[in-house]
Amino acid sequence: MVRITRGEESRLTNWYFRTDKKLISLLAILLLASIIMMLSAGSAEANRLSQPWYHFLQKATPFYLLGIFSLFFCSMLNKKWILYIAWLMFAFGMGCMVLTLIQHNVINGSTRWVFLGGVRFLPADVLKPALIILTAWFMQRLQGIYGQNIFWNKEAFKFSKDSWWPYIIAFMICFGIMVKQPDLGTGILFGGVVLIMALVAGMPIKLFGMVCALGITGVFGFAIATMSHIQNRMAQIFYVPPRTQVWYSLNAIRHGGLMGSGDEAYVQEVLPEATNDFIFAAIVENWGAIAACILIAVLFAILKVLVEHAIVAKDNFVIYALTGTAALFFGQICFNLMTSLHIFINKGMTLPFVSYGGGSFVSFCILFGMVLALIREDIWNNR
């Protein structure tokens, strides 16, 4: 039997003894929950599509393997290599965002998908780790040039490569493409994440509130005035038309009750996106509200670990990266659950690490692998 001891100095032993095992364990629980749901809700949806019961698990397995490999690979890197990978993902993701304007692969009324090498994915998923890491790096870089006050300092807003403008221009191009696709939900999520990171980086609370108010008013006003699908979804906030996605979702949740319906879970058989956007409804119908609450507790335990590490971190870059990861993780959870519970309009976002969706799963694995590496490096470099 091979045993790893602290006396051995290698990359593997350093990773084994210094990486946050609590966070890895919580992520493993989510992965197990995802596999179980691929076998339960996935088999019901596969039957509806006249596919073998293992159809979705079979399709998800390569992404599970790639995601797990990416998680462990990225968790062994240092800050320099994490930045290299983030820049590569940013370049590839932005290139694919531009490609969505050319390919016009329309799925459910949106052109946000890209097909490359026979694989369909969302460029926005590729950009998520890059958004977090490069925003953290950029804010720390500006603070190194202009001091801590990078939000009122006029020099930081002069048009040059060492100012806010390169970041603002890149973000607005990305946001503009998302509006064009349309994928307004992801654009709002990205904007919210950046604002939370900016608040932690020293943005005055009054400026934060003003930007939030103007952004929410402007974006929703524009969307309601110009996007018919947003108008239709807003009209359904107080009334759910029968046999729509949200209608089936609410019925699945009601049918599940506290303990779940087990073999009598029939609503998920007709619930669209039962393994993806509405997987929470399928979980409640299969396993009940109590099991669903346990899953939510695991999700919030991960959020708690991220916040705790951000509070004690010494490096501003690590603080901002952890803050951005927590904001993205929390925001996507909220969007997914609010959609299933009909608290918010349907935005079609996955439940992190749980929903079927190869690109989203791999993206979060890469991001959390980077976060694990940054946590380890920050703790051991500042002992």
70-82 pLDDT per residue, tens: 999 999 998 999 9
Beta strand 114-116 with 119-121 is antiparallel
* Percent of the chain scoring above 70 in pLDDT: 86
What's the rounded Cα separation, in Å, for the pair 94 and 242? 39
State the average pLDDT over residues 145-166: 87
Peptide bond into 204 cis (omega under 30): no
- pLDDT of res. 279: 85
199-215 pLDDT per residue, tens: 999 888 998 899 888 88
- pLDDT of res. 131: 94
Please give the backbone phi and psi of residue 180, each rounded to the nearest 5 degrees, phi first: -70, -30
1 lies in some domain: no
Q: Residue 2's pLDDT band (boundaries 50, 70, 90)?
A: very low
Q: Residue 382's pLDDT band (boundaries 50, 70, 90)?
A: low
18 lies in some domain: no
Helices of type H across the chain: 11-18, 21-48, 55-75, 79-103, 123-146, 165-180, 184-200, 205-226, 228-235, 245-256, 279-287, 289-312, 316-340, 358-381
pLDDT winner (highest mean) among 124-138, 171-185, 255-269, 339-353: 124-138
State the average pLDDT over residues 90-114: 80
* Element (DSSP H or E) covering residue 116: strand 114-116
Q: Which of 123-127, 310-314, 354-358 has the lowest mean pLDDT?
A: 354-358
Reported residue count of the chain is 383
Greater confidence (96 vs 12) lies with: 96
Which DSSP string do the residues of 226-270 spell out, in sequence order? H-HHHHHHHHTSS---TTSHHHHHHHHHHHHTTT--GGG--GGGT
270-301 pLDDT per residue, tens: 776 677 778 888 888 888 889 899 999 999 99
21-42 pLDDT per residue, tens: 899 999 999 988 888 877 777 7
- pLDDT of res. 231: 64
State the average pLDDT over residues 343-372: 86
Residue 6: pLDDT over 60: no
Which tokens belong to 22? 């609590």
Sequence-distant (6+) residues with CB within 8 A of 150 are: 139, 142, 143, 156, 164, 201, 202
- pLDDT of res. 4: 52
Contact 303, 330 (CB under 8 A): yes
pTM over 0.85? The answer is yes
13 lies in some domain: no
Average model confidence (pLDDT) across the chain: 84
CA distances from residue 143 to 84, 94, 136, 266 in whole angstroms, order as listed: 21, 26, 11, 56
Contact 22, 66 (CB under 8 A): no
* Domain with 244 in it: 29-381
- pLDDT of res. 1: 42
Domain count, the chain: 1
- pLDDT of res. 170: 92
